[in-house]
Structure 1
Amino acid sequence: MKILLTAINAKYIHSSLSVRYLYKNCTDLDCDMKILEVSINNHLIDIANQIFDEQPDILAISCYIWNIELVKQLLPLVHRLLPQCKIICGGPEVSYETKEFMNDFPMVNYVVRGEGEEAFHSLIEALIVKEDDGQIDIKGVAKRNEDGSIDENIAVTVADLDNIAFPYDEADIENLKDRIIYYESSRGCPYSCKYCLSCATRGVRYRSLDKVFAELEFFIAHDVRQVKFVDRTFNADKAHYLPILKFIAKQNCRTNFHFEIVAHHIDEEIKEVLKTMPKGRIQFEIGIQSTNLKTLGQISRANPWQEMTDNIKSIMAYGNIHLHVDLIIGLPYEDLTSFAKSFNDVYLLQADMLQVGFLKLLKGAAMNNLTKEHDYVYMPQAPYQVISNKYMDYKTMRYLQIFVDIVEMYYNAGRFRHTITYLIDLYEQDAYTFFADFTAYWRREKLHLAPHAPKNLYKFLADFIQINDRFVNKDVIYEILKFDALMSDNGKFRPEFLPWQELSKQVIDDFYMGEQAQKYIKNYQFKSWRDLKKKFTLEIFNYDIEKALQNKIEKCKNVMLFVYEDGKVSYQQIEQGDIEL
């Protein structure tokens, strides 16, 4: 019997944890099982062709919010190509409203509901021995009977996570080179936020620390680029997560570990560990979602704001941990004025990324019980994004979609961080109004109607600066924008409208061929002019940039050296006398 486990990921760089769990937990069964991994960017017929080429007896497909619409197109096509193939679906998108899904797609024979490792194993085991389909009755497995009726059966969880096999081996790591690797050390969440699927299950289950350490050592030994923990709240239990952080801090590796945490579960002992963490070793994602107390109460979320902000500012001050903070648009009682306050509150934390998303009414989430009370209208297909509610009409939502895109391009992408910070300072830290004004310009110029190359973003920002009366000292701003250009993308974008000032060839030759270069560049050795141009840039500035970034304007002609190595950039100001202007 040949079984094809199929994962359709959101992006090529992603990998599927679920199908690897299923595969590794069925290795004791007498069958030919294989994984097919594609992305939603693959054409429908190409995916169907790859499935057809494998000629499986059983096709198992994992169904998530990002792929369910494609899966719905794929199912009837595969059934036409392989009419004798049994089809099993599983995942969050089919674990709820299961009977409706199976009625809509009569080619689906089984649905694994909830956590599937044990239920899927039992189902495949029963099918291998060719047990009569009508006799199959497995917890967590919905089935279609011969008369067309459907037995839903209940969704299940795995009680002991130690019983689940580690989902990766040597071949997996080789195949997933430089992709994101997903991992979990716990399941469940101690909180019951109504917009989240974790509210559907109670309690948290943990994998034993000895197993976790051994598995993390496997990733480190194989030089994995990033391990993204999918634990819903990684720092729910200090006895579990503190030893993991200590373990990671002691490693000598390039692997980055990503965690979703709550900010108020960080005490002084945890902070001492975080201070010792090698730079780039970990990154945190903290869901704030809103700072409106009435909103937070309605969605059953506790945000002790002072404690959270103190801890976030401490983490940012260490300078060694990349931090994301999240907001959600469309929550109950959050109108535009409330959102503006939430946005400004979170912006002031100065996290590395301020991620703003729109509320999605996920199947199985408790938010679905609030749709009438708050007049929710949402997309009928995945991702079920909110279109409007009692507090924001769709015109407002549409405006905020453009607003969010601009935040993504000009704040989160990191290219304009110094310029944007400086401009928002001129708005007296009212980040919402700055981005709102920028959004108004963007819409007026109809820039939201087409995608834009990164180099064009400089021109759009410069145009907005030019017409904005709030911005005095525009020549200072353009110098900062030039600084940002040199700090991003290895300095390859040089917008012609910026005040570039080239040093003479003789001055450049004297600097790099003399002793000055060794003073500023560690382990400097001249190899070739081509190599030098790729790695180093000298640029004249008319102002002291570091002081300008602190709103201290000092006109001072100076030269700055930018060094590009290993995907990173550093800079330093050349002392007077070390280079001739």
Structure 2
Amino acid sequence: MKKVLLLAVNSSWSHSSLSLYYLRAMLETMPYQTEIYNCTLKDDPSEILYELVAKEADIICASVYIWNRAYLERLLSAVASLRPRIKIIIGGPEAPYLKAPHRYTLIKGPGELAFKRLAESGFQIHEDCIEAENYLLKEIPFPYREEDKRDLEGKLVYYETGRGCPYGCVYCLSAQDPRREFRFDTSNPRDLEKLHRELDSLIALKPKTLKFVDRSFNINKDLAHRIWEYMIDREDACICHFEIYPDLITDDDIRILKKVKPGRFRFEIGIQTCNPEALKASGRNTDWQKSKEQLLKLKEETHILMHCDLLIGLPGDSYQWVIDSLDQLMEIRPAELQLGLLKILPDTPMLSVARERGYIWEEIAPYKVLQSDTMSFEEIIHLDRLAHVINLYWNKADTRQIVLDALSKSRASDVFLGLVDYHINEHLPFHSLSPARRSGALESVISSQIEAGERLEG
């Protein structure tokens, strides 16, 4: 019996790889010995190489992403050199760009059906690149088993109820995905029974967080409401993470979400910018003022933890607009705020936009923007430092109250940019700092700003 090893190189021990569980499900009724092998970027590649070779697999499959591409390039090249008989199959968004001195087989696009056809042929591979029409999401078997609890308990587990996104944001991998399909038809009683069975199975795995990977989860209102209500009613349910499109939040949503207990639901909400021209140039059809009103209601009337995102480097967005967007978003006081650098991802419309507008960016993963059509390299670096400061001071519980006190007297940008200057002047690192040193930095910056304000008033 041939042995298939599904290799997951995760960014940390707490993550898992949904795609490989899907591939395992494709082999469910076939005569293969299948194993999912998990490791992380922190693991010694030499030790992982030894373990992979020792497993004596016939086929190794891996999903390639921005965060694990370099690791997999090194690891798979060594495996292929040591054991050239092993067939190596790669897929995922970064797979076409993997440097491969040896012959690998690439599955391009959605991989479940193409992988199943390969398996049905006994992995008789005659092409370097395989692409196939995919199953509908509702046709793909539930990916998890009861015994997976051993590996997934206490971790981040991913689940999918919809594929595709109608919004076409130019920087997103879903921008050119024409699908808009769902795993369940809420008008079909059998589908609802299936939904409840799958949610029960997910809860039984006892993950720390169940992350729904659907783009714009709340676009299918009835399905979203049924999932929210079911998870609210389950006392033993885990933390649930949803990606939410802010314009679509309604009063009906909030009526349901009022019942969520503290800490149970986490919403990831992409604002990206409050600049209407930059939103338009990015293909993002959103109304910030409408979003703000609903987010304020969500904040005031529910216990939802809101993680909000802003991007640095969108087409036409300026340094000052990023600062203004920060100030406007911080009026909501989200539980977490992430200010991230735009990535010019291959296979997204942003690549051609960046070329047309004269952007400069990293040519290898993670493809971070270095200079845009309206922002210099120096401005982007300063904003990147601002992003680290926000993460160090706002997103940490031990300094949250001090920051809140400061925000009652000053704009968010004044406080955080003051901290950027303090870190530069005191030669402090931006990536990590002890709680005591962070508290000291905050007190120093706040005192300086109070003194400056008093001098102006005098």
Name the structure 1 match of 2:33. Answer: 32
Contact 2:49 2:78 in 1 (8 A): yes
Secondary structure of residue in 2 paired with 1:8:
strand
The question of whether the paired residues in 1 share the 8 Å contact of 2:171 and 2:348 is answered with: yes
Q: Which residue of 1 aligns with 2:188?
A: none
Give 1:122's aligned residue: 117
2:429 to 437, 448, 451: 448
Write the distance in 2 (CA, Å) between the matches of 1:105 and 1:214.
42
1:39 and 1:268 mapped to 2: Cα distance? 42
Structure 1 SS opposite 2:394: helix
Give the letter for the 1:412 counterpart. Answer: N
- The letter of the residue matching 1:58 is I
Say whether residues 1:390 and 2:376 are aligned partners.
no
One-letter identity of the residue aligned with 1:197: L
Deviation at 1:389, TM superposition (A): 1.5
Task: Give the equivalent residue in structure 2 for 1:163.
Answer: 139
The Cα offsets for residues 411-434 of structure 1, whole Å up to 9 and x where unpaired, read as: 01222222112212222xx21122
Report the CA distance between 1:21 and its aligned residue: 0.9
Secondary structure in structure 2 of the residue aligned to 1:107: coil
1:458 aligned counterpart, secondary structure: helix
Q: Does 1:411 align with 2:394?
A: yes
Structure with greater contact order relative to length (CA < 8 Å, sep ≥ 6): 2
Residue of structure 1 in register with 2:262 after alignment: 279
- Please give the secondary structure, in 1, of the residue aligned with 2:429: helix
Partner of 2:84: 83
CA contact (8 A) 1:3 1:58 kept: yes
8 A Cα contact 2:388 2:431, kept in partner: no
SS in 2 for 1:447: coil
Aligned partner letter, 2:120: E
SS in 2 for 1:197: coil
Instruction: For 2:38, give the aligned amino acid.
Output: E
Structure 2 partner of 1:371: 354
What is aligned with 2:180? Answer: 204
The aligned amino acid for 2:414 is: T
| Residues 267 and 425 of structure 1, relative CA distance in 2, 3 Å threshold | same
Deviation (angstroms), 1:64: 0.7
Q: Which residue number corresponds to residue 436 of structure 1?
A: 417
Do the aligned partners of 1:25 and 1:117 also contact (CA within 8 Å) in 2?
A: yes
Change in CA separation of 1:258 and 1:23 when aligned onto 2, cut-off 3 Å: same
1:179 corresponds to 2:165: no
Rounded Cα–Cα distance in structure 1 between residues aligned with 2:230 and 2:452: 49
Matches of 1:212 and 1:77 in 2, distance apart? 42
1:352 match: 335
Cα pair 1:225 1:254 within 8 Å, conserved = no
Question: Taking structure 1 as reference, are residues 248 and 170 closer, same or farther at Cα in structure 2, changes over 3 Å only?
Answer: same
> Distance in 1 between the 2:452 and 2:195 partners?
53
Q: Which residue of 2 aligns with 1:422?
A: 405
Closer, same or farther in 2 for the Cα pair 1:367/1:253, shift >3 Å?
same
Aligned pairs for 1:228-307 within 5 A: 228-307=211-290
Pairing of 1:550-561 with structure 2 (within 5 A): none
The Cα offsets for residues 132-152 of structure 1, whole Å up to 9 and x where unpaired, read as: x43xxxxxxxx23xxxxxxx4
SS of the counterpart of 1:127?
A: coil
Q: How much does 1:249 deviate?
A: 2.0
Distance change >3 Å, CA 237–CA 470, structure 1 → 2: farther
In structure 1, distance between residues paired with 2:357 and 2:405: 39
Q: How far apart are 1:335 and its partner, in Å?
A: 1.3
Cross-structure match for 1:549: none
Contact 2:113-2:133 within 8 A present in 1 as well: no
In the superposition, the TM-score normalised over structure 1's length comes to 0.74
Q: Deviations over 1:286-322 (max 9, x none)?
A: 1000011110011110121222111111111124111
Q: What SS does the aligned partner of 1:61 have?
A: strand
The match for 1:139 is none
Structure 2 counterpart SS, 1:448: coil
Is structure 2 residue 277 aligned with structure 1 residue 315?
Answer: no
Q: CA deviation at 1:470?
A: 4.2
Residue type of the alignment partner of 2:5? L
Measure, in 1, the Cα distance between the counterparts of 2:247 and 2:451. 37
Q: Structure 1 155/106 Cα, relative in aligned 2: closer, same or farther at 3 Å?
A: farther
Does the residue aligned with 1:33 lie in a helix, a strand or coil? strand
Aligned equivalents of 1:228 and 1:318: distance in 2?
Answer: 23
What is the CA-CA distance between 1:354 and the residue it aligns to? 1.1
Find the aligned partners of 1:258 and 1:182 in 2 and give their Cα distance. 9
Alpha carbons of structure 1 residues 26 and 154: separation in structure 2 relative to 1, 3 Å = closer
The farther-off stretch of 74-83 and 326-335 is 74-83
Matched residue, 1:105: 100
Change (3 A) 1:2 1:372: same
Looking at structure 2, the residues matched to 450 and 355 of structure 1 have their Cα atoms a distance apart, in angstroms, of 14
Alpha carbons 1:87, 1:107 under 8 Å: kept = no
* 1:544 aligned partner: none
Q: 1:368-393 deviations in whole A, cap 9, x for unaligned?
A: 01122322111121111111112222
- Residues 1:217 and 2:200 are matched in the alignment: yes
Q: Counterpart of 2:207 in 1: which secondary structure? A: coil
Distance 1:291 1:265, change over 3 A: same
Deviations 1:37-58, CA, capped at 9 Å, x for gaps: 1111112212211211111111
Cα deviation for residue 277 of structure 1 reads 2.0
| Percent of residue pairs bearing the same amino acid type | 30
Say what the alpha-carbon RMSD is for the aligned residues: 1.9
Letter of the 2:270 counterpart: G
CA shift at 1:360, angstroms?
0.5
Q: Distance between the aligned counterparts of 1:156 and 1:290, measured in 2?
A: 36
Q: Which of 418, 440, 445 is the equivalent residue of 1:459?
A: 440
What is the rounded CA distance, in whole Å, between the counterparts of 1:471 and 1:391 in structure 2? 31
Instruction: Give the structure 1 partner of residue 316 of structure 2.
Output: 333
Q: Give the alignment's TM-score, normalised by structure 2.
A: 0.93
Larger Rg: 1
* Distance in 2, Cα, partners of 1:163 & 1:367: 32
- Following superposition, the deviation at residue 127 of structure 1 comes to 2.7
AA partner of residue 107 (structure 1): H
Q: Helix, strand or coil for the counterpart of 1:312?
A: helix
Pairing 1:2–2:3 present? yes
1:179–1:356 distance in 2 versus 1, CA, 3 Å: same
Mapping of residues 137-156 of structure 1, within 5 Å: 143-144=127-128, 152-154=129-131, 156=133
1: CA distance, partners of 2:142 / 2:435: 40
Deviation at 1:74, TM superposition (A): 1.7
